[in-house]
Amino acid sequence: MKPLPIGILGSGKGSNCRAILKRIHAGALPAELRLIVSDVPDAGILEIAREFGVPNAFLTPGRFRTKLEPESEEALVKMLREAGVELVVLAGFMRVLKAPMLEAFPNRIINIHPSLLPKFPGLEAWKQALAAKEKSTGCTVHYVDAGIDHGAIIAQREVPILPNDTADSLHARIQIAEHALYPDAIANFCRDRGLPL
């Protein structure tokens, strides 16, 4: 099977991006990372792109805090299409995608969220789980739609909440689960929806 061309969007350190790249380089994920894009000029994810020799770009987000300017989103669609991207992977991308992206890549944008959705959508979900005195939480890979952390669920992994957990210790364990779950989910996508030989 031809490797599935993917693009990653991220706003932060890029630990999930690194986990995906490691799996690709180990030959355990039939994907080819064509482009990494960030809306933050000095984001760690762009450093990871340079470290692994992956084409990368900074996208000027515009004046909004939680979404892209329509012109910026159109530019993002153009970048991803020119790179031949088939699957868009959100890895800590902190902006809600709108019609240009959702229409350009229907059922081909996925995200990972640090809770067992539909519980605790939104920011700092691990803190929400602690405050609600949950016994467990986890992470969810899901398709992206017009809602926030709302699209159809692809895969989940549970993480127990320990009696002595702090927000930081719980978040760290959720991230370990994410780094295993996300590459697995992408590998399944490649097998199920993969390109013809």
Query: Tens digits of per-residue pLDDT, 45-93?
Result: 999 999 999 999 999 988 998 899 999 999 999 999 999 999 999 999 9
pLDDT for the residue numbered 194? 45
Q: What is the rounded distance in angstroms from the CA atom of residue 113 to the CA atom of residue 26?
A: 25
Assigned domain for 162 exists: no
What CATH number does residue 52 fall under? 3.40.50.170
**What is the extent of the structural domain holding 27?**
4-112+141-150+180-193
- Position 166 pLDDT exceeds 60: yes
**pTM, rounded to two decimals:** 0.94
- Let me know if residue 159 belongs to a domain: no
What integer pLDDT is reported at residue 196 of this predicted model? 37
What per-residue confidence (pLDDT) applies to 110? 97
Asked whether residue 160 is domain-assigned, the answer is no
Q: What is the spatial distance between Cα 54 and Cα 20, in angstroms, rounded to a whole number?
A: 13
- What's the structural domain count of the chain? 1
Question: What tokens does 22 get?
Answer: 């490691």
Residue 69 is assigned to a structural domain of this protein? yes
Cis peptide before 118 (omega within 30 of 0): yes
Q: Cβ distance 183 to 23 under 8 Å?
A: yes
The DSSP bridge partners found for residue 56 are 36
- Tens of pLDDT, residues 121-164: 999 999 999 999 999 999 999 999 998 898 999 999 999 999 99
Q: What is the pLDDT of residue 195?
A: 41
Q: Which of 77, 74, 72, 148 is nearest to 108 (CA)?
A: 77
| Residue 136 is assigned to a structural domain of this protein | no
Is 192's pLDDT higher than 90?
no
Convert the pLDDT of each residue in 2-40 to its tens digit: 899 999 999 999 999 999 999 999 999 999 999 999 999
By the 8 A CB rule, do 85 and 108 touch?
no
pLDDT-derived band at 193, boundaries 50, 70, 90: low
Catalytic annotation on 113?
A: yes
From the candidates 25, 113, 142, 171, give the one annotated as an active-site residue: 113
Q: Please indicate, yes or no, if residue 173 is contained in any of the structural domains.
A: no
